[in-house]
Amino acid sequence: MQFIGRKKELKLLDKAWHSEDAFVMISGRRCVGKTALVREFLKNRNALFFTAQNVSDKMNRVAFETMLYDHMGVSRSDSPDYKNVMSWKDAFRLYAETAETGGKVLVVDNFDFLMAANEDFVKIFKNAWQQVFSVYGVMVIIIMPSCASLLELAMKKSFMDNITRHIDLKPVGYVEMMRDMPHNDFNQLMFLFSVAGGIPKYWQPFAACIDDKNFRRAIEKNFFDIHGGFYQEVPYLLQNDVWDMHVYQSTLLGLAAGLTSPEDIAEVTGFKLSQVENTIKNLILLGYVEKSTSVVEKRLFGRKTILYRIKDPMVAFWFTFVAPFYDEIKQGRTGRAKKKLKTHFAEYIQYWFRRVATDIFMTASRQGSVPIHCGEVGEYFNRHHEGIDILGIDVDNRKIFLGDCNYSNQPYTMDKFEQFVSHCENIKEIKRNFKNYERVYGIFSAYPFDKELLDFALITKNVLLFNGITIYSLNS
């Protein structure tokens, strides 16, 4: 599969390469593409790329020493002292002092394995950076997943102070996928994003899918079969990242079922509130869960309402369509899982369409493709259960953007648009806070618009229709 996106991160690495000191940490959730990013950066560069294994410290030292000798063009067995394994300190010094042309890059992947195998490794590596790597102009890149080891490392200030650039790699955004994917069909990518998210590794089983039927078959093959690539994927991720699996799985099941507060999850699961709150906190740090607040909300006792939701589409999909039927699928009984996919997938994809629409709008706003430049964008909700899918605020020009998202095979009509405008105008909090603000309305649809609404948008100011990434409006 071709390398997709990551232009910003590649520029950061290239900038680090041209600096005098470059000690880069790349972190991110498992499978997000950390290693692929570094390998793309290393093309046509002189590098020693060491991938640590989850084995003993000595075994990793043997592997590093063997790779180092191979890199130098000699065999480790030719060394007169080959039966004795080098210390990390000596191996790092040998690499740094070996003369090479064109600059040098040392990459250590799975840095967390080395931390686990040797409690002194972090100190050893810090000293190696200060005493040899930085002295001899070696660019150093360490790669590690967002896990307990990363949290442990982040607390070691004496080590982190030496890091010159920390790239916390996030999943590829939808707009970035649209730009770089081999095929740019909006609905194909919407299906892909809703199931696999912005994780390149997860796209591969869907590479040949060209319509809804192909995607559903690929989903059934990979999720609803014990031999499928994704049947065990999410439990595997959690086992590598957390303790108390039953607590984390119960919390994620609650979130997938629509519970949005720790109090609700604690009541349903029977766990203590403090335990659920701590679990959610860790899931946020791992990138699986996010918290959101309304863009506009009157504070109650100085606090805003917080909603917690699953952030990762693969995790959300697994806990929505696989986890409730996990044992049944294991026994070869997939009927109920397939039925839920058929009846609830449209509802499921609607949520991710709102996320994608927000990404599209924010990109258009930054690029000046729409007549409003919002400094703040998000969803709106209040205690009266009134909501707006996307609300953007342009304080400088005193404008607000009000967006509605509809992922359906039915065209968005003029009547529905008028109902949306009326809904927005009847929300007291919006009227009160933005009394003198100019309204800009946006409708997001994956399918073509009703002709009457389309004609209206083309002659009416501040009405924007987004069909995929195409914008229809008088303003554009």
Q: What is the pLDDT of residues 372-419, one digit of tens each?
A: 999 989 999 988 889 999 999 999 999 999 999 999 889 999 999 999
Residue 292 is which amino acid?
Answer: S
- Decide which of 306 and 58 is more confident: 58
Task: Enter the tokens of residue 394.
Answer: 């342009």
pLDDT at 298: 56
Matching CATH number, 176-351, of 3.40.50, 1.10.10, 3.40.1350, 2.30.30: 1.10.10
User: What's the chain's Rg over C-alpha atoms?
Assistant: 26
Distance CA 314, CA 300 (A): 35
Instruction: Output the DSSP codes for 43-60.
Output: TTS-EEEEE--SS-HHHH
pLDDT at 78: 65
Q: What is the CATH number of domain 7-168?
A: 3.40.50.300
Alpha helices in 318-334 (DSSP H): 326-330
Of 114, 119, 143, which Cα lies nearest the Cα of 39?
143
**7-168 shares its CATH topology with 368-472:** no
pLDDT at 302: 52
pLDDT at 182: 61
Q: Which residues contact 187 (CB under 8 A, 6 or more apart)?
A: 446
Confidence of residue 476 (pLDDT cuts 50, 70, 90): low
Of 33, 348, 44, 26, which Cα lies nearest the Cα of 177?
33
Confidence of residue 301 (pLDDT cuts 50, 70, 90): very low
pLDDT at 300: 43
Of 448, 473, 449, 258, which Cα lies nearest the Cα of 361?
473
pLDDT at 387: 93
Distance CA 423, CA 425 (A): 6
pLDDT tens-digit map of 116-175: 999 999 999 999 999 999 999 999 999 998 777 887 888 899 999 999 999 999 999 888
- Please say whether the beta carbons of 442 and 466 come within 8 A: yes
Q: What is the domain partition of the chain in residue ranges? A: 7-168, 176-351, 368-472
Tell me: pLDDT of 185 over 50.
Answer: yes
Residue 136 is which amino acid?
Answer: Y
Confidence of residue 244 (pLDDT cuts 50, 70, 90): confident
Considering the domain delimited by 368-472, tell me its CATH architecture: 3-Layer(aba) Sandwich (3.40)
* Average pLDDT of span 235-259: 90
